[in-house]
Amino acid sequence: GQNIDQPTEMTATEGAIVQINCTYQTSGFNGLFWYQQHAGEAPTFLSYNVLDGLEEKGRFSSFLSRSKGYSYLLLKELQMKDSASYLCAVSDSNYQLIWGAGTKLIIKP
């Protein structure tokens, strides 16, 4: 079966760094996406990885290891507005997105 695992909830301090992990087992792989979703709102696209390595975009970076079926989203210089759920999604062999349940990130002052 297809499976995406990510922690349910994480807590971090304003100004700090946090890493949100995602492991996956899917039928085929055509890339991994990270989305941010604030409570009561729709998801917004953050990053896309299809090759191994680190993609950096401002305070956010995303890493992929295809051999390990593993990705992480790294958030630096955390701000209160970063409190949200972070969704990991894998594009399978049919280009369908398989969604993780999301990681709720709580930022404390």
Identified binder of other proteins from the candidate list 21, 48, 70, 74, rule CB under 8 A: 48
Whole-number minimum distance, CB 66 to other proteins, in Å? 14
Q: What phi and psi, each to the nearest 5 degrees, are found at residue 80?
A: -60, -35
Identified binder of other proteins from the candidate list 5, 7, 23, 30, rule CB under 8 A: 30
Region from 11-19, 45-53, 56-64, 69-77 binding other proteins, contact rule CB under 8 A:
45-53
User: What's the burial of 35, exposed, middle or buried (CB within 10 Å: 0-12/13-18/19+)?
Assistant: buried
Between the alpha carbon of residue 66 and those of residues 45, 50, 53, the distances in Å are 21, 8, 9
Instruction: Tell me how many residues contact other proteins (CB under 8 A).
Output: 21
Residues at the site binding other proteins, with contacts judged by CB under 8 A: 30-31, 33, 35, 40-45, 48, 50, 87, 91, 95-97, 99-102
